[in-house]
Structure 1
Amino acid sequence: MASRTIQTELVGSTQTCPECGGTLDSSGRETHCTDCGLVVEEDQVDRGPEWRAYNREEQKRTGAPRTVTLHDQGLSTDIGSAEGSDISSRRRRRLARQRRLHGRSKFDSKRDRNLAHGLGEIRRIGSALSESKAVKEQASTFFREAQKADLLIGRSIEGGAAAAVYAACRCNGLVRMETVADVARCSTSHIWTCYRTFLTELELPIPVSLPVDWVARICSDLPLDVTPKSRQRALALAEEATRSTDINGRPDGVAAGAPYVAGQESDLRLTQATISEMADLDITTTRRWYQQIEENIVE
């Protein structure tokens, strides 16, 4: 015990090894010398970082990382539930009252409460669509910017949250408005209104959707196996339709007509109803655009 006390004093006074003068490492459960391996002090408290870092200067022990998907960026605390605890009913009622008052104190204004509600709706829609964490964070950023610009005044929070999720999904890939509207708590027209306002006022970096982007998804969803030759032919038709000045319309409709024309050329038994169902389009839309492709592209 006396030797351990002396070693502790040596560690507190100098950060070098008492034997060889080397560097001491206290990142684990014990303090040891990196040169000779002498264990200077044993400590059961883990003083290392919460995450792995290869740079010693960046190693810090902190709480959970901040996130934009929460209105307070995850810095607040919650009072846990007392269910199942062996405490009196009076103490249980007191904890419930403290939990209620603590929840009210998180919001400084009505604006913060609306922000928390909107971000919670974004997390719910993102989870229902199985979107990644990056998409949820980008949608939360769009919602925050819209609230700062006062674009949510006169509009529902649910519509603004759904529009932010749709905008984030469009920035990271292909998605239909109907897919977002199926899990949203507002109408499709209201989401479109909010989305157009965000697109105009916030200048969102939404990429242009092309027919080529939809062909691969439609072909992969078809119940029949599409040969690589037919798939390449459908992509080529979609690219020619994009460059053509005679064909100008919705990209998913053009993308639905391209696999049908390619299937007719390769004797692949693909019906317009099957393609329309996989593309989530009306059969008349598929018929219209495949006729446009045949008239203007196919010789």
Structure 2
Amino acid sequence: MSSTNASEKTVLDAQSPTTNEREHKGEVKHEPSERSTCPECEGQVITEDETSFCTACGLVVADEWVDRSPTLNDLGMVGEADKSIETVDPLQADKGLATKMGQHTDGHGNPLSNERWDRVQTLRKWHKRFRFGGQRKRTKRCNEGLRDIEMIGANLGLPEYVVKTAARYLRKAADAHLPGGRMAWESLAGGAVLLAVRAADIERADIDSAVATYTKAPRERVCAAARKIRCQCEVDAPVVRPNAVLAVLDALDEEAIPGARAVRTWRLACYLLELGDQVPIGPGTSRCTVAAAALYGADRLLPGKQVTQGQVAEAAATVVPTSKCRVAQYSRELVDAYKDEHGTDDPAVGLAQATGSQH
């Protein structure tokens, strides 16, 4: 009887899948996440399959694809293979794949002698040259931008996944060759952090000013860089300053645009601003400046001109520094884009589109 039970148990054990096989098939139980607390409610964060979420409020902290194929250690080819491979880090210039060399200690933490310290410095020099590759100057500037992102995230107390998302945005900007001219790496670093915070939907009071405080660039350039990354790198993140048109409209004199016309001008200006984000028009310019141009362009499309370039520029200057030249240039480009989109300058078409999008 005992031999029969033992044989049946052996058969059942042979038919039941192992833990590794269940994981490889995608049957993954709840397990603790790398981030144990929720950034919103301080609840427990767990990981199920590829998604890390809070058990209290349901906030999705991370949603990444995880390779669950057998490792070399599972296949019996290499021992301790999972411990010998470094993780990919977007905050590193070489994505964290290169060896990290210390400055004052050896691999065991012991202090270096003068002779060995000189030898390590030589090795570090050659290591940096191989690490940054052929385009060393550009890669170094990108590495400085990544360090700026780390610094901004540490000062603001942002979660690690938000900082790494900002690093990915900066890499997209570098691949698109956005740095150059008036668009500096420092501005792009601050803009990438601003977009990452808005994409993560983290509620912070006046987050634009908070990011600009720890960025090596003024607030205007940070917002302009955020708009440039979002428009030219196709980043799926909410816009910076969504009420830019309303801010400029409120800064105008109450008697400049009558009440009924002010609503139509605001709706048409919002539509022109969305069109300017899609084309894009003035991607390296602050959204408030383009909003002012959209407001003046909407007033041009509507019958009976009410405001001048000087009035609009003066109203926009209360939010962000601008000039009549920029308002005139971008308003012409917005009106031309409107005509190319609809084949007419009839404002009723844009008003109908704006009303439909609001509903």
Name the larger-Rg structure.
1
